[in-house]
Structure 1
Amino acid sequence: MLHMRVIVPPDRSEAVRDLLVAEPGATHVTMLPGVAVQPSGDLVEADVAREVADDLLGRLGALGVDRAGGVTLEVIDTSLSDAGDAAEEAAPGDPQDAVIWDEVVARTGEESRLSVTYQMFLTIACLLAAIGAITNSPVTVVGAMVLGPEFGPLAAVAVGLVLRRGDLVRRGAVALAVGFPLAMTITALASLLLDAVGLLSTADLADLDQVGFIYEVGPFSLIVALLAGAAGMLSLTSAKSATLVGVFISVTTVPAAAFASVALVEGRYVQAMQSGVQLAVNLFGIVVAAAAVLLLARSRSRQGRRKLSAG
């Protein structure tokens, strides 16, 4: 269940109240006239099943509530109520399959910004991956995969393409286009420093049997990227964000970027090129699969709405 909080102008508060009362998937409807100060208006609250939240947000938007007031949603961790149980039963479908598109846009938009924190995480992840490659340590490489924040911008690009939101595509593309080159440059400089103090040599990259997957490009590189992109987008649309950790571990975007920098510094141009191709394949596969999942989810949402209308 989700808790919906609506600030609405007095002239539309009854319409909002009636909308929530008439919705079988909503309950615990309360109305407090005149309590909202900024923006001013009435406060209408309700607990709603996740399956009906997206449709309710669309109807509230049609009433102009988002422009003249505001709508917030919060996840309810625990609810003891027969009325709440009845609302969940009355809502069509399964809550895990329900997609709240405003939530998806908000989450991807927030996680795709090119910020100092994003750049620091990406740079540290590349440095860890470089150390993992130099020491032939898959554990360190996996740690770098988990730390990498690149899925946020990739998801934003996919969402922007599907929903035709140019702002999301630009924001995600900028975060990737600026973030990776900068992180790779810093990793290359760090490799030069390690080389200068004798901690890195060409021989260190001669036998990488444990981390060869970083630069060895093949059919499974694309397959893994497609599966990871699909799983990542499913975790975002179904609010199962904990599964994103598994997605991060499965893709080699950060390790490939880091190894390309190290190999280039050490004059291993073939491995550097292979790593660059690996990075491109992973980025492309993730975006394509994520967009495909979104297209399927949007189609399913439209079919669900048509069934509700027919019913």
Structure 2
Amino acid sequence: MLRAQPGATHIVLTRGGALSPEGDAVQADLARECTDEVVDALESMGLEHTGAITLEPLDTVISDAARQARRLAPGDPDDTVVWEELLGRTREESTLNATFLAFLTIACLLAAIGVVTDSPVTIVGAMVVGPEFGPLAALAVAIVRRERRLARRSLLALVVGFPVAMLVTAVGALAAEAAGWLSLETFDRIHQVDFIYQVGPFSLVVALLAGSAGMLALVSSKSAALVGVFISVTTVPAAGFAVVAATVGQWHVALLSVCQLGVNMIGIVSAGVLVLALHPRRRQALRRRRGARPDRVW
């Protein structure tokens, strides 16, 4: 199957090279465009039950055969979704564990400090530290792939993570209020970061654009673009603002902040679903134009 795949090269067979479980070891370099089809073919052989299918990205390959494989593989690597890779990344980043809770709590605390000190720089720091995009992206993948287990995992991380982080932030805000660092007068002097709770049409537009960019960065392995996504949406800052507003009795502002949080989360997930839903159609249309079967190229 690998030898018949135009996007596969550098195929190596080591008979009896695998010891646990026993068997042959097969290795091949694949153009990204054909990786999904090869994985489907290997799974149809049941190799994940008798052995293992391991994917590892290669940063640099200098070879005429590799260049030929990239030319023969249909499509463009940046427009290709490797579903197993995407599922693995989102599954790892959407797990509710101590590390996720720690990052989310630290981000909420930073956001609260940014609100109290009226510091946009601290708010941006909270956006970058916040890990909430992982579960949101995983939820979008789960909706498209109908992966109920992944959906439950991501929803658990969001439903448990944010309340825990906000509760810890509330304790810190009350302590700051008791120490005289935070008061209603201090809250009324906030002007540079009041955009966080101002919900409007552009809140949804920014969330949709950021969610689209984030999902494109995930499916194309362009992780550098994710930093721009993190500092575009006000999910964690809205949570921190809601806590600070509630501790000083500004319930209207707290409610608006919670609405901002919800709008951003819904927008990111919706955009992620749309990007993933459109990707396979573009690939199939490209294969039809090249005269290849839309379901298999091997």
TM-score, normalisation: structure 2 = 0.96
1:16 aligned partner: none
- Deviation for aligned residue 1:299: 2.4
Decide which of 56, 65, 68 is 2:38's aligned counterpart: 56
2:292 aligned partner: 308
SS class of match (1:28): strand
Separation in 2 of the partners of 1:228 and 1:119? 23
- Give the AA of the match of 2:119: S
1:11 aligned partner: none
Structure 1 unmatched runs, 5+: 1-18
Separation in 1 of the partners of 2:57 and 2:162? 34
1:77 aligned partner: 59
Aligned length: 293
Decide which of 96, 101, 124 is 1:119's aligned counterpart: 101
1:87-98 matches, within 5 Å, as 87-98=69-80
- Give the AA of the match of 1:38: S
- Deviation for aligned residue 1:73: 1.4
Separation in 2 of the partners of 1:301 and 1:171? 29
- Give the AA of the match of 2:292: L
1:67 aligned partner: 49
Structure 2 unmatched runs, 5+: none
Decide which of 176, 198, 206 is 2:188's aligned counterpart: 206
- Deviation for aligned residue 1:33: 0.5
> 2:272 matched to 1:290?
yes
- Give the AA of the match of 1:183: A
Decide which of 108, 120, 127 is 1:138's aligned counterpart: 120
> 2:25 matched to 1:25?
no
1:227 aligned partner: 209
SS class of match (1:34): strand
Q: In terms of mean alpha carbon deviation, does 69-78 or 187-196 score higher? A: 69-78
Percentage of identical aligned residues: 55
Separation in 2 of the partners of 1:217 and 1:205? 19
> 2:184 matched to 1:196?
no
1:135-157 deviations in Å (ceiling 9; x for gaps): 11000000000000001111111
> 2:227 matched to 1:269?
no
1:104-143 deviations in Å (ceiling 9; x for gaps): 1111111100000000000000000000011110000000
Separation in 2 of the partners of 1:299 and 1:209? 46
1:110 aligned partner: 92
Separation in 2 of the partners of 1:109 and 1:305? 30
> 2:146 matched to 1:164?
yes
SS class of match (1:72): coil
SS class of match (2:231): helix
Separation in 1 of the partners of 2:109 and 2:194? 17
Decide which of 190, 200, 209 is 1:218's aligned counterpart: 200
Separation in 1 of the partners of 2:248 and 2:21? 60
Do 2:74 and 2:287's aligned partners in 1 also have CA atoms closer than 8 Å?
no
- Deviation for aligned residue 1:265: 0.5
The one of the two structures with greater contact order (alpha-carbon pairs below 8 A, sep at least 6) is 2
Decide which of 173, 177, 180 is 2:162's aligned counterpart: 180
- Deviation for aligned residue 1:278: 0.3
Separation in 2 of the partners of 1:54 and 1:292? 20
Separation in 2 of the partners of 1:254 and 1:298? 32
Separation in 1 of the partners of 2:207 and 2:59? 33
- Deviation for aligned residue 1:302: 3.9
